[in-house]
Structure formats: C-alpha cells, structure tokens
Amino acid sequence: MAVIHRRHGRAEEARASLEAFRRHKEVKTEVEREVFEKAEPIFEARTAVHLSRITFERGDPPGALALVRHALSLEPRLPEALAFEGWIHLKRGDLVEAERCYRSILAADPRHAEALWNLGKILHTKGDPEASSYLLQSMELRRSFVEGWEILARLARSGGAPAERAEEFARRALELRPSASNYGALAEILFEKGGPEAARQVLAAGLEKHPGDPDLSAAMDAIGGKAR
C-alpha cells in the first residue's frame, strides 16, 4: 500500500502505511532492524523526489529544488535525486551546478545513461571535445532512444561527433523512426560521401512511405532522380 500511495503522489498516506507496517512486522534479528532503519530514510527521500517532479511540472522550480535537496539531505548519493537536481539546474540554465550533479552520479555509477547523456550535452554546449564520448556511451546503453541517434547524426556532420559514424547514426535513427526528415538526413549523408545512387534509393524509399513529401521530392529532383 505504501508503494501504491507513493506512485499516486499521496505522500502522507504512503508514510502512514510504511509506519503501520513497521509497527506490525515482528523484527526478529538485528539484521532486520538495520534494514528497517535504512529503509525509512530511503523511502522518505524517494517520496521527496517524486513530489519534487510534481512540483516542477506545476511550474515551481525553487520548490522542486527544495524538495530534492531534502531528499539528498537524507540520502546524499541517491542517484535519482542527484539526477533530478541536475535536470532542474539544466532547465534553469545553471550548467555549472548541473554538471556537478551529473559528475557526482558518474563517480558512483559510470554507466548511468541519463547522467552520461546530459553531461555530454553540457560539454557540447561548452565546446568540450569530450562531449561526444559521453553521448556515445549513453547511446550504447539505451539504443532505443531515437532522439539520441538523430542528435548524434547531426553532430557527426558538424564535427561534434566522429564524422565517420554519421551514416551509422542516421541509419539507427531511421530504423527507430522512419520519418521524412530521417530519410532525408541519411540520403544527404550518403550523397556527401559520393554515393548519389545510394542517396536516390533512400529518397525513393522515403517517398514510398511519405508520398509527395516536399522536402524529399525536392532532394530527389536535385540529384536527378524521379520524385513520386
């Protein structure tokens, strides 16, 4: 019941259910007592993070930040609290504090996909050449994040990610989201690599899926193909 209440944003009911459980559950060993003592602050911290998300969505970033910092006062290294604090700072434009949060997460968990991605974006904004390394590590962990592959494809063409992997990134994005823009992006990359026929094939496939799309049609005309 405590978990159900928490998931529905009912913090007081959740806390009451947990306290009732603690009262009625017979603690037989010191190990169980230690588990209970550790569980309560973690539960309260996670409840505070959940309330922080709701508060932020309602347009109160300072209130959300206060709640997430309360969570961190209970559990200083709680990953979800640090990650959401970083997100709040990121949305408010405080890149220094956001970077601090994400680096703290990665110090404890180097494979935290969200921290890797957001730190990579922050470093890219600063022009740091390490940015692409963090972005790539994140995408290897969450391969179904289509926006990530789309962004990496753009970065590869502008020098913000390995240029030789631009086609790979664009193909992954297209597999996950066969949008007209992703067909166009892959065709453009192939054309730039000196493959007009490969570009025509991609554009033809795109026009078959998106008949009459003006951007795909214009691209096909530009390379001497036949638009559908």
CATH at residue 151? 1.25.40.10
Does 226 fall in a domain?
yes
- Enter the tokens of residue 12: 């007081």
**Long-range interactions of 167-173: CB distance < 8 A, separation 24+:** 167/193, 172/143, 173/146, 173/149
According to the model, what pLDDT value does residue 200 have?
Answer: 94
CA distance 33 to 39: 10
Asked whether residue 52 is assigned to any structural domain, the reply reads no
Domain span at residue 184 reads 143-228
pLDDT band with cut points at 50, 70 and 90 for residue 88: very high
Q: How far is CA 134 from CA 68, 139, 143, 152, 201, in A?
A: 25, 9, 14, 11, 33
Per-residue pLDDT, 35: 43
pTM, two decimals, is 0.70
Mean pLDDT value across residues 206-213: 95
Taking residues 182-207, report their average pLDDT: 94
Q: Does any domain span residue 111?
A: no
Q: Where are the alpha helices (DSSP H) in 93-195?
A: 95-108, 113-125, 131-141, 146-158, 166-176, 180-192
- What is the average per-residue pLDDT within 66-82? 91
| pLDDT at residue 36, rounded to an integer | 45
pLDDT value of position 44? 83
For residue 182, being part of any structural domain is answered with: yes
In a domain, 199, yes or no: yes
Confirm whether 85 is domain-assigned: no
d(CA 88, CA 94): 9
- Percent pLDDT > 70 in the chain is 84
Which of 74-78, 177-181, 193-197 ranks highest by mean pLDDT? 177-181
pLDDT for 15-63, tens place per residue?
A: 677 667 656 655 454 544 454 445 577 888 888 898 899 889 889 999 9
Question: Which of 132-146, 150-164, 171-185, 214-228 is the most confident on average?
Answer: 171-185
The answer to whether position 224 is within a domain reads yes
Residue 31 pLDDT: 45
In a domain, 16, yes or no: no
Query: Tell me: the pLDDT tens digits for 114-159?
Result: 999 999 999 988 888 888 899 999 999 988 899 999 999 999 988 8
Check residue 50 and give its pLDDT: 87
Q: How many domains does the chain have?
A: 1
What distance in Å separates the CA atoms of residue 59 and residue 228, rounded to the nearest whole number? 47
Average pLDDT, the chain: 86
